[in-house]
Amino acid sequence: MAKRRGFNLRVFVSLFMTFSFLVITVSGIILYIAPPGRIAHWSYWSLLWLTKTEWQAVHTIFTFISVIAAVLHIIYNWKPLISYLKTTIAGIPKVRGELIYATLFSLILFVGTLKSFPPFSWIMDFGEVITDSWSNEKNEPPIPHAERLTISELALETKFSTTELIKRLQNKGYDVKDSLQTLEEIAVKYNVVPSEIYNKIFTGNINSKNNFNNSASNKYVQGSGYGRKNISEIFEENNLTWTEGIKKLKSKNIIVTGNDRLKNIATQNNVLPIDIINAIVE
């Protein structure tokens, strides 16, 4: 009878790193094409039965544990690794060209990504195109991350009082007694999506933004994705012609050379996207 082999931690670590690589790859691809958080959290978007938040958690945890596994892998293979390094160092003259090219290639990737040079910018832009494609009138929240608003905050953002909102919720079957509860907490309690609750509270249209105070400062807030819009879109949303918009920006020393994305123009002028917005709407 064969003797039962004991648990081999080295084999376990190697297998885990393989499985982890697959999970990180899949989760990374899914997060690359996932909708923005404002849409994903408002409608509880999911893919392969997991929400964006769950995919982010999976990706983060597996990446974190993989780093620990990689350290253990180095420890358990220390002698072969040292032997390999000695051999490599001894043969550096033979691999000098490969080492130089590998180093240069890594630097090109790093700098090209930071500076948004093609084709690296194409990859990021393609991801943003896919991300933006999820947006439509039905799944856009009235304001970014509206699910995080408490009943009291929701009252401040709308034309309704806290008492009236609580009454509306109770009439729709949601037992809400605390005005500090968020739409998300209520949604979790009743196993529905935040947009459904909003739909029932207000006009029957989950994207009924007329209930909200739609000042310029509320239209362009962090997380709304306005940085990806072309400057002409921002002008149009604020009832400005191209000439009028350019003139306003020029008065604030913000130079626009073409119909580029707002975030790119901000980078070129060494300002923040919100600085450009403020220059336009004031």
Domain count, the chain: 3
Both 119 and 64 in one domain: the answer is: yes
Give 106's Cβ-side CA count (13 Å radius): 6
Both 255 and 200 in one domain: the answer is: no
Q: Is residue 192 pLDDT above 70, yes or no?
A: yes
- 221 three-state secondary structure: coil
- The set of residues, in sequence order, having a beta carbon less than 8 Å from that of 43 and lying 6+ positions away, is 139, 193, 194, 195
Average model confidence (pLDDT) for the chain?
A: 82
Is 141 inside a domain boundary?
no
54, burial (CB in 10 Å: exposed 0-12, middle 13-18, buried 19+): middle
Both 56 and 157 in one domain: the answer is: no
pLDDT band at 205; cut points 50, 70, 90 = very low
Both 271 and 194 in one domain: the answer is: no
Q: Is residue 167 pLDDT above 80, yes or no?
A: yes
Is 140 inside a domain boundary?
no
Question: What is the CA angle 131-135-137, rounded to 5?
Answer: 180
Give 230's Cβ-side CA count (13 Å radius): 9
| pLDDT tens digit sequence for 103-129 | 899 999 999 988 888 898 889 888 888
CA distance linking residue 135 with residue 232, whole number of Å: 19
Both 114 and 24 in one domain: the answer is: yes
Is 239 inside a domain boundary?
yes
The residue with greater pLDDT, 125 or 206, is 125
236, burial (CB in 10 Å: exposed 0-12, middle 13-18, buried 19+): middle
CA distance linking residue 206 with residue 217, whole number of Å: 22
Q: Determine what percent of the chain is predicted with pLDDT higher than 90.
A: 17
pLDDT for 31: 94
β-bridge partners, 150: 182
The residue with greater pLDDT, 187 or 228, is 187
pLDDT for 206: 42
Quick count: other Cβ atoms within 10 Å of Cβ 114? Answer: 9
Count helices and strands (H / E) in the chain.
15, 2
Both 163 and 200 in one domain: the answer is: yes
| pLDDT tens digit sequence for 68-91 | 988 888 887 787 777 766 776 666
pLDDT band at 221; cut points 50, 70, 90 = low
Range of the domain at 199: 146-211
Both 123 and 152 in one domain: the answer is: no
pLDDT for 217: 47
Q: Determine what percent of the chain is predicted with pLDDT higher than 70.
A: 84
Is 138 inside a domain boundary?
no
Is 15 inside a domain boundary?
yes
The alpha-helical segments, DSSP class H, found in 182-272 are 183-189, 194-201, 216-219, 231-237, 242-251, 262-268
Both 126 and 232 in one domain: the answer is: no
Both 178 and 249 in one domain: the answer is: no
- Mean predicted confidence (pLDDT) in 35-46: 87
Tokens encoding 149: 């608003």
| pLDDT tens digit sequence for 254-281 | 888 888 888 888 888 888 887 888 888 8
Both 254 and 205 in one domain: the answer is: no
Least reliable range by pLDDT among 34-48, 55-69, 82-96: 82-96
Instruction: Tell which phi-psi region holds residue 239, choosing left (phi > 0), alpha (psi between -120 and 50) or beta.
Output: left
